Amino acid sequence: MNIANFTLEQLAGQRIMAGFEGTELDSDLKFLIDTLMVGGLILFSGNLSNPEQIKELCSSAQAYAASCGQPPLFIAIDQEGGEVARLKKPFTQFSGNPHMKSEKDAEEFAAIAAKELSGVKINMNMAPVMDVACRSVESVMKGRAFGDNPAWVSKMGVTVIKRLQKSGIMAVAKHFPGIGRTILDSHIDMPFLKVDPEALFAFDLPPFEAAINNGVVGIMLSHILYSGIDREWPASLSTVIAKDLLRVKMGFDGLIMTDDIDMGSIAGRYDIKTIIKRILLADIDLVLVCHKGPWIESAFNEILCSMEQFRSVVEDGRESVVRIMRQKERFLYDIS
């Protein structure tokens, strides 16, 4: 599809990845696709019952998007293995990243996960976790990270990225610039991390650099405020972190996305107008709104309103949608 022909509504909608309730294509899901024109959907346990149902849900959503003249949808899920794995039995159950002992283990996980995701028409995995679990604190990521050594995390994460994407599943490295030092869960409130840039580059960022160098499709931002880099805004709303550091300094030209803006760390502190304004300023491509509610439509309306008012927002929006469509054309236009 030629994005030069996209309406402002399509440009706005492509920037949103939305969660929803239910296990089938109903009126609420159709509204996300035909009216809000969302670029992607994210699935959670409540959307899933068995492989046949999941495949029908994803296939019908894609078919409906096509019937509305919309691009194919990103359909994402958190399937890290271990503590965070939305797909339950009969899908393969893995012990999780901390229990992987070799690149062979990572390769096996990614190969099986890719096959099972592809089999039910899911095309994006919100994995791997590239956070380095700091040994000196009770890291919130202790049960999800590959370990506490940046080189090891890099090696294992890159193995997962390469295998997933070779098998047609888009990988998303998370949670930039790293939450392995934190002990507070951002689902509840915003963690504050006092770390200087030198320490961040030495310990937290190498896995993300490795992911970028190996072509990862997406990078998810954390909801943590890194006071040594940006004293005012968390990473997911920070131009210093998302734009200046990740996009410019580290040279990442893939998809930058927020973590779920419904989390307490963001939704509990900012209104939707402020959130969307910051996301647009920070050159972030995709806004994740993972729960049914007014914020999905409000996010769409705020993006659209900004585009209608400011030419620069339209131009930046087209650049984001170019990046989005680049990955859709690479991974999704042969879906059937």
Identify whether 170 is part of a domain. yes
Average pLDDT over residues 302-324: 90
Identify whether 209 is part of a domain. yes
Identify whether 109 is part of a domain. yes
177 or 136, higher pLDDT = 177
Q: pTM above 0.85?
A: yes
pLDDT 10s digits, 21-31:
999 999 999 99
Identify whether 216 is part of a domain. yes
Which residue out of 187, 196, 253, 271 is catalytically annotated? 187
Whether 336 shows a pLDDT value over 50: the answer reads: no
Total tally of structural domains belonging to the chain: 1
CB atoms within 10 A of CB 5: 7
Domain, as residue range, for 170: 14-331
CATH number, domain of 224, equals: 3.20.20.300
**Rounded percentage of the chain residues whose pLDDT exceeds 70:** 96
Identify whether 6 is part of a domain. no
Told to judge if 259 belongs to the known catalytic residues of this protein, a careful annotator would answer yes
Identify whether 1 is part of a domain. no
Whether 153 shows a pLDDT value over 60: the answer reads: yes
Identify whether 2 is part of a domain. no
Q: Does residue 237 sit in helix, strand or coil?
A: helix
Told to judge if 271 belongs to the known catalytic residues of this protein, a careful annotator would answer no
Task: Please check whether residue 78 is in contact with residue 43, taking contact to mean a CB–CB distance below 8 angstroms.
Answer: no
Identify whether 226 is part of a domain. yes
Average pLDDT over residues 259-285: 92
**Residues 6+ positions from 290 with CB-CB distance below 8 Å:** 18, 19, 42, 44, 260, 262
- What is the Cα–Cα distance from 39 to 72, expressed in whole angstroms? 8
Which backbone phi and psi does 174 adopt, to 5 degrees? -145, 155
Which residue out of 78, 259, 262, 285 is catalytically annotated? 259
